[in-house]
Structure 1
Amino acid sequence: MAADMRLPVIRKPVSLTSAFDRKDRKDLVVPGDVITSDTGFMRGHGTYMDEEKLTASVAGEVERVDKLICVKPLKTRFNGEVGDVVVGRITEVQQKRWKVETNSRLDSVLLLSSVNLPGGELRRRSAEDELTMREYLQEGDLISLGQGVLVQLSPSLVKRQKTHFHNLPCGASIILGNNGFVWLYPTPGHQEEEAGGFYTSLEPVSLSDREVISRLRNCLLALAAHKVLLYDTSVLYCYEFSQPHQVKDILKPEVMEEIVMLTQQKLMEQEG
């Protein structure tokens, strides 16, 4: 009977005190915790008044904006904001619109008039366009995405950045949706920008690309399991530290812990 054994490795001690001593540290509260007794603050989401004391109604981080105090839940459904990048899946085709699952409380709506038709045609949508909506997007489709892997994670783990589209040096690309839906796909070699509209590649994905995407996928799951913020740098560092291990071994608890610890250490060294 074969057994899989790993020898212990020498690990550098990691000090996490600096991460918790920063001035921008946010307070964590649970339901029932008194946030403040000062009556000069305004009550925001995730709070309620109890005997003139502002109290938390959910578990999360206390956020203060001037006189407004709210509690941002640590785990919740996606609440969209203007400018968010989201990855969505079509759930229903309706008249002149699609319903889209975006990991929020309600399905989102994508209007036929809001999409770029193949070829980038800018014109009024006709009745013929409405009849052929399923040729563009149908139930189960990910919006304008071709071959790849979807990883569904908590929206709170995706770090807000100026760009959420990244072509990683490992040969794969990633879309970090603010709604927690992360899309991994082979970096396209060449795409005509002037074509516009829908671009769905159904070309077979090579074995090497599939291995890279699978490794990235397991790295994302490892980072998420240890509540590490997901952005291009953290994902890339985790990918680099996972190289000594086989793709299937990354999700083993001891390997996962080792890779994530090394990733956190390098991120802290980078931040100074």
Structure 2
Amino acid sequence: MDIDEDEDFLEVGSSKITYPGEYLTSSQAFMRGHGTYVDDEEVIASVSGMVERVNKLVTVRAIRTRYNPEVGDLVVGRITEVQPRRWKVEANSRQDAVLMLSSVNLPGGVQRRKLESDELQMRTFFEEGDLLVAEVQAFFSDGTMSLHTRSLSYGKLRNGQLVTVPPNLVRRLKSHFISLPCGVDLILGLNGYIWVSKHIKESEREGEEGFDAEAVYSNQNDQINDSTRMAISRVANIITVLASHSIPLTDLVLLEAYEWSIEQDMDVKNLLQDELGDALVASISARG
């Protein structure tokens, strides 16, 4: 490949899959970034992952890697331990995150002071095994991320199932809360944890009277009809298939994949068969 051809290498903002040792482009035309090295004036991939180009910088984001958090990220996590005035949260990062008692909404008003009685009742809010969606608020001196759930969109998760994918397949979107027309809501955690659940209307999420602690911290799932259960399973299987083929997940890709599976009148469990998964990915790639 000569320099003129290299100038057309990988449109800015796009990506492709590569493997260790693969030639990417000329070091005379581009700068090497993370996940690459230069050999004989050629930029070579040093890891298996997604090639990304930003202006003249070429990097490779490893497919199998831990989540690297940033302030403002939306994450899905699981409570692993209840400690004095805080919860420890497993969020697919290098170390457990922390959710402080002062960083959650409590009964009696969002902004009120936290009392000793609140600390004694911490397990009525979150207990071990609970799933939640939160935002990365800050980092402690040892690098541990501090979370908060001070938004009615955040908090305990119910009425669905968790799907785990490599974090680099979840792109940063305008919103990571997605509602599909099939009655399924998605929360795309940037840490690679995706929550697939029954659709909740905006009015129900916000509540008629404002913050309803009993509803927000309830451990009881709602009644879910068979068709909604099937739709949740279908979306979860689609995500699993796309992730196994290293397809980046966006709202548009997920909607197209869902519509394709319906058009094909495909049984939910059959989606996980290799040949049907390949056909799904081929269809999405062709549309893209």
Tell whether the structures are fold-level matches, with TM greater than 0.5. yes
Following superposition, the deviation at residue 176 of structure 1 comes to 0.7
Q: Deviations over 1:194-229 (max 9, x none)?
A: 226535462221111101101111111111111111
**Where does residue 80 of structure 1 map in the other structure?**
69
Give the distance between the partners of 1:156 and 1:261, measured in 2 at CA. Answer: 21
RMSD between aligned alpha carbons? 3.3
Cα distance in 2 for residues equivalent to 1:48 and 1:255: 37
Query: How much does 1:30 deviate?
Result: 3.0
Secondary structure at 1:250 match in 2:
helix
The alpha carbon displacement at 1:118 in A equals: 3.7
The amino acid of 2:74's aligned partner reads V
Q: 2:94 matched to which residue of 1?
A: 105
**Distance change in 2, residues 1:115/1:32 (3 Å):** same
- Paired with 1:29 and 1:224, the residues of 2 have a C-alpha distance of 17
The C-alpha deviation readout for 1:162-219, integer Å capped at 9, x for no partner, is 1000111111100011011000111124411622653546222111110110111111
Match of 2:238 among 192, 199, 219: 219
Alignment of 1:2-21 (within 5 A): none
The alignment partner of 2:178 has SS state of: strand
Are the aligned partners of 2:9 and 2:25 in contact in 1 as well (CA < 8 Å)? no
- For 2:9 and 2:38, the matched residues in 1 are separated by 30
Deviations 1:92-133 (A, max 9, x none): 011110000001110000000000114543211111111110
The structure with the largest alpha-carbon Rg is 1
Q: Is the 8 A contact 1:90 1:139 kept in 2?
A: yes
Which consecutive unaligned segments of at least 5 residues does structure 2 have? Answer: 1-7, 133-155
Normalising by structure 1, we get a TM-score of: 0.77
Q: How much has 1:72 moved relative to structure 2?
A: 3.0
1:236 aligned to 2:226?
A: no
Cα gap change, 1:101 to 1:204, in 2 (>3 Å): same
Partner residue of 1:11? none
Partner of 2:282: 261
| Counterpart residue type for residue 88 of structure 1 | G
Partner SS state of residue 79, structure 2? strand
Question: CA shift at 1:255, angstroms?
Answer: 1.2
CA separation of 1:35 and 1:82: change in aligned 2, threshold 3 A: farther
Do the aligned residues in 2 keep the contact of 1:85 with 1:177 (CA within 8 Å)? yes
Inter-CA distance 31–137: structure 2 relative to 1 (3 Å threshold): farther
Q: 1:195 aligns with which of 211, 218, 221?
A: 211
Contact (CA 8 Å) 1:29, 1:62: kept in 2 or not? no
Q: 2:10–2:53: 8 Å Cα contact kept in structure 1?
A: no
Q: 2:128 aligns with which of 115, 139, 161?
A: 139
Deviates more, 1:29-38 or 1:164-173: 29-38
Structure-2-length-normalised TM-score: 0.73
Worse-superposed segment, 24-33 or 103-112: 24-33
Q: Give the structure 2 partner of residue 13 of structure 1.
A: none
1:217–1:35 Cα change, 3 Å: same
Give the 3 Å change call, closer, same or farther, for CA 129–224 of structure 1 in structure 2.
Answer: same
Inter-CA distance 221–55: structure 2 relative to 1 (3 Å threshold): closer
Paired residue for 2:267, among 230, 246, 254? 246
User: AA paired with 2:191?
Assistant: N
Amino acid at match of 1:264: S
1:45-64: CA deviation from partner (whole Å, max 9, x where unpaired): 657899xx999764445667
Share of identical aligned residues, percent? 45
Post-superposition offset of 1:264 = 2.1
Taking the TM superposition and a 5 Å limit, the aligned residue runs for 1:52-91 are: 58-60=47-49, 71-91=60-80
SS at match of 1:195: coil
By how many angstroms is 1:232 displaced?
Answer: 1.2
